[in-house]
Every structure is written in structure tokens, then in C-alpha cells.
Amino acid sequence: MVRTGAHAYVKYDFETSYGAGATANKKFGLQDKLTTLTLTNNRQNLAQLNQNTIHKFAYGQQQGSASMGFTLSNPWLFGALLGAPVTTGSSAPYTHTYNTAANLKTPRTIAIEVGYDGASADIVRTLKGGLVNSFGLSASVGGHVDCTADVTFGKESAPSTSLGSSPSVPASEFPYTFAHAELTVNGNVVVQCQEASLNLAQNSELLYGLNSHQAVASFRKILDITGSFKASWINKNLFEKVLEQIKAGTSSGTFSETLGGSPEFQMTFIRDSTNEKIVITGTGLSIGEISISGLEPVEPVFEEINWQMKTISVVATSPTATEE
């Protein structure tokens, strides 16, 4: 009998040390789906003189990858890219701040449990030492706030046949849509915004050593913060900013490395302005490309912006005191 996603579950948890200390029970979000799951042992083919066929196989590093998709319903996965939050407040609502510079130097790994109610036997896989190498978030008119997470993991042992349970439902779980989103750039709300995206890539890598096919640690490189948005073309402000970055704006000879403004960049998702919201703030915003579309009869005219930032922080207001 063919099995469907109704016979499976996926959940995760943060590890206390690389490949250890996690008890998976967290949901990625609403409508979560594991779109791909692969594992390789990096087989090496060995030939030898006097024959044209493979003589032996050898095996290298164990490495796996998983891709998740889900609707934004909580802020907790930001902790896999920006480190554990600093939480303040003695009662609800609590404030969780993800921006500690020290947390950006060492990856915070996750473990993922994948359970599958097989036709002849249950399968439970535990993916350890997982790095959320990239996280994408996008909102467009008429849709949900869609998220993707690409995970690389370096440790997995034999699967279990003792099926667990679905992840616990968070005390606070809300499906954010385009109507709950707002974008501010250069100190101004982007009016008539049609779509916006944010992408974080922490460029982390697994570290291997002698005496093990599995990874033994991980490290991270530079954090890339990029994104784009599309909105009605109503003035020349952002176009001027692009020109100022190459001293070609109307302020003759003016050079502006970044856009400036307060806030320079802010993407906000609000369920309740007092008790539950996610505020993403960035500095060092640079526009790399601007394009105009719709200059044709009776069509709306839009400007599309591709940008990159230097720093980011996420402040989540939640009725819960801990990541769940």
C-alpha cells in the first residue's frame, strides 16, 4: 500500500554540542514539508592495472542534506542562524532578541527527527549536527509568508523502528500572511509593496577528522544577508540612492556607501502589536540593482530592488518565555 505524508512527521531541536544534546520536539512551522532528504557516503572507485573494471570501492565522508518548506508561524528557527536569543520580561509578553555578535561566530546546530510509518516496518531517522546553511522568507500579495530552510548534516546512525509522535503544537502558533507584513526602507514605509524576500546564508561548513567518516564539528564563514522587493514606482528616491553609490546622483560628487535612514531596513510581521510580532531590522543596506517593469499601456509600473545588508537583528515578542 502506498504511503503519503499523512504517515510521516518531522521535528527538530537545538543541540547543546555538535551532534548531541537534542530532543527533537519543535515544529518548523505550519504546512511544514520535507521536500528533499539525501545522504551520501562519497564513494570512491578504485581501479587497478591490467583491467578496465572497478577493482574496489572506498568510502569518504558521510554527508546529508534536507530541504524544508513551511509557512511562518513562529520566530524560533532564526536561532539556528543567529544563535540563542536573549530573553527579557518577567511575564507575558516576553521579548526574544537574536543579534548577539558572539553568537554569530559559532554555528548553532540542530537535530532533525524524521518518522515514517512504513507499510511493513516503521522508520525513524535522526539527522544530527545539522547546519541551517540558508534560510529564505518571502511574502507576496495574496499569499502566506513562505519559508525555506536548507540543512546540511554530518552525523546519522542506523535508523530506529520505534515510531515517535508528531511535534508538540506550540502554545503560540499563527499563520502569517502578506496582510500581516510591512516593509520599511531608508526610513520610509514601502507603499503598495507587492512582494518582499529575505535570504540568510551563514556559509557554514562541516569539519571532518581522522578516525571517523562522520563530521566532528562545524564552523561558519561570513553571513550573507540579501533580498529583494517589488513596489509601485512613485518617486526617484531609491533610484537616486543607487546613483549616489557611484557618485552619479543629483548631489554632485556625493558618495553614499549605504542607504541610511532610521530604520535603514525593517521587515515586520504583526499578529498583535503588543503581544506577538516579529521585527527584523538591518543596517548597512546597499542596493545592487534596480529595474522598472510595466511601462506599457494601462499596466501598473513597478520598481524591483535587489539589495544586500551588513548586519541583522530579530526581535520577537511572544507570550511564551522559551523557544518552543
Phi, psi of 265 (to 5 degrees): -150, 135
Model pLDDT for residues 199-223, shown as the tens digit of each residue: 999 999 999 999 999 999 999 899 9
Model pLDDT for residues 258-314, shown as the tens digit of each residue: 999 999 999 999 999 889 999 999 999 999 999 999 999 999 999 999 999 999 999
Model pLDDT for residues 116-168, shown as the tens digit of each residue: 998 889 999 999 999 999 999 999 999 999 999 999 999 999 999 999 999 98
Phi, psi of 76 (to 5 degrees): -70, -30
Model pLDDT for residues 27-67, shown as the tens digit of each residue: 999 999 999 999 999 999 999 999 999 999 999 999 999 99
* Contact call for residues 155 and 213 (beta carbons, < 8 A): no
Query: DSSP letter at 53?
Result: S
Q: Pairing mode, if any, of strands 224-232 and 193-201?
A: antiparallel
What pLDDT band is residue 184 in, cutting at 50, 70 and 90?
Answer: very high
Phi, psi of 244 (to 5 degrees): -65, -25
Task: Using the predicted structure, report yes or no on whether residue 100 has a pLDDT greater than 80.
Answer: no
Q: How far apart are CA 122 and CA 95, in angstroms?
A: 40
- Least confident span in 119-128, 175-184, 224-233, 254-263: 254-263
Burial of 47 (0-12, 13-18, 19+ CB in 10 A): exposed
Per-residue pLDDT, 250: 74
* Contact call for residues 218 and 131 (beta carbons, < 8 A): yes
Task: Using the predicted structure, report yes or no on whether residue 102 has a pLDDT greater than 70.
Answer: no
Q: What is the mean pLDDT of residues 69-92?
A: 95
Q: Pairing mode, if any, of strands 145-153 and 63-71?
A: antiparallel
Per-residue pLDDT, 252: 62
Query: DSSP letter at 322?
Result: S
* Contact call for residues 21 and 29 (beta carbons, < 8 A): no
Q: How far is CA 214 from the centre of its chain?
A: 24
What one-character-per-residue DSSP string does 170-189 give?
PSS----BGGGEEEEETTEE
Per-residue pLDDT, 213: 95
